[in-house]
Amino acid sequence: MHSTVFLIEFGAIILGLGLLGRVAGRLRFSPIPLYLLAGLAFGNGGLLPLGASEEFVAIGAEIGVILLLLMLGLEYTAGDLVSNLKTQYPAGLVDFGLNAVPGAVAALLMGWGPVAAVVLAGVTWISSSGVIAKVMGDLGRLGNRETPVILSILVLEDLAMAVYLPIVTALLAGVSLAAGSLTLAIALGVAGAVLFVAVRYGRVISRFVSSDDPEKLLLVVLGLTLLVAGVAQQLQVSAAVGAFLVGIALSGEVAEGTHTLLSPLRDLFAAVFFVFFGLHTDPAGIPPVILPALALALVTAGTKIATGHWAARRAGVGVKGRWRAGGTLVARGEFSIVIAGLAVTAGIEPALGPLATAYVLILVIVGPLTARYTEPLAVYLTGRRVRPRPLPAAAPSPPTSPEDVRESVPEPDQDPAGRA
């Protein structure tokens, strides 16, 4: 009977997610807010709480986080990361200062303590790579001059997670300063070692993993990723960071083939992850935090726009491109939920989960709108609309003879302007 109920519940969840994904596709916005709302509906205090399938959903959610970070790592090579660190680190520092500090300050003002302040700082800091990539593709901006600036900031944020997540994990576990320092040292050592191996021996690793058989490639990459993620978790580094580093180590045809094979699995388990986060958030806790979430969303939308504008200006991008870069970075999504999910699981602050849910729901909806309309609105408000310049008045031409008129008639192979 238990297995029957499980199959019915889990089948209904997957079917519901598929239908919600179709609705989001028709409306041309990210399905993340719909997945979160579905989790709220089926969680404790929701319309129809689940029972039998919740444990399996928890395991699926953990796999979803691992696959999200693996696929993100596949987007970049170790050389890209090193290059971005060297050239764009000032933009990364500005991004951290402008967007992490408001979250930390908000947590302290609400009396949540320093650990919750570190967590909320991460929630407001990290933009959603998935939502932003989709928005840029939908708007046809992948070839714009500001796009490398946006991608550099996203890469730096993702790389910073290799340091940030172990710190958060240690703080949530309540370990001592010495143990926390050891955890961070291990994380930095592992990250540095993987980056070194990826730079020096990335081709060797890719040849070892490579296979012409899609089934074998899928099994090897997925098995390697879960193994490394489990070892990283055992070392208290973070399973997500381990998966991210595996993605970085793979390159070339292996990365492309893996991306194609794992994309459907990632989408499935990532959707399960968002539902799982919603399951553990009491809907009754959202109304009390909706005003702080709105205020935080308004402030950090402005700071993200300022970050993108400054970084694009530093890269020599034009005025319109600066505003487009800033507006595109506003969306928060999967990584904010991942960070908040760690805190919810640890149980450090009951209101943190509802606040993070409301915050992400607001910005994942507002983000595509700011990406589209920040630039025209800013140009309008600053009075920099491009107006066609009036043509200078033509000088009066001298009188022409009948012969001059005949000579001015264009030949058959010329256009009226006289161009060949």
308 band by pLDDT with thresholds 50, 70 and 90? very high
Percent of the chain surpassing pLDDT 90: 17
Model confidence over 319-337: pLDDT tens digits? Answer: 999 999 999 999 887 778 8
Q: What is the pTM of this model?
A: 0.70
pLDDT at 27 over 70: yes
| pLDDT score, position 105 | 95
49 vs 200, residue with greater confidence:
200
pLDDT at 401 over 50: no
Buried b (16+ CB within 10 A) or exposed e, 169-189: bbbbeeeeeeebeebbeebee
- What value does the mean pLDDT take over residues 328-347? 83
Instruction: Give the closest residue to 238 by CA, choosing from 347, 162, 178, 155.
Output: 162
Report which listed range, 97-106, 143-152, 164-173, is most confident.
97-106
396 band by pLDDT with thresholds 50, 70 and 90? low
Report which listed range, 17-21, 95-99, 176-180, is most confident.
95-99
Mean of per-residue pLDDT scores for the chain: 78
| pLDDT score, position 257 | 84
| pLDDT score, position 394 | 52
pLDDT at 227 over 80: yes
Residue 90 dihedral angles phi and psi, to the nearest 5°? -60, -40
Token pair recorded at residue 56? 């399996």
Q: How far is it, in rounded angstroms, from Cα 26 to Cα 54?
A: 29
- What value does the mean pLDDT take over residues 58-71? 80
Length of the chain: 420
Q: How far is it, in rounded angstroms, from Cα 357 to Cα 297?
A: 12
- Please report, in angstroms and rounded to a whole number, the separation of the first and last CA atoms in the chain: 83
| pLDDT score, position 387 | 52
- Residues 254 and 212: beta-carbon distance below 8 Å: no
Cα angle 261, 265, 271 (rounded to 5 degrees) comes to 150
pLDDT at 400 over 60: no
pLDDT at 232 over 80: no
| pLDDT score, position 404 | 44
| pLDDT score, position 291 | 94
Instruction: Give the closest residue to 71 by CA, choosing from 175, 278, 203, 222.
Output: 222
418 band by pLDDT with thresholds 50, 70 and 90? very low
355 vs 8, residue with greater confidence:
355
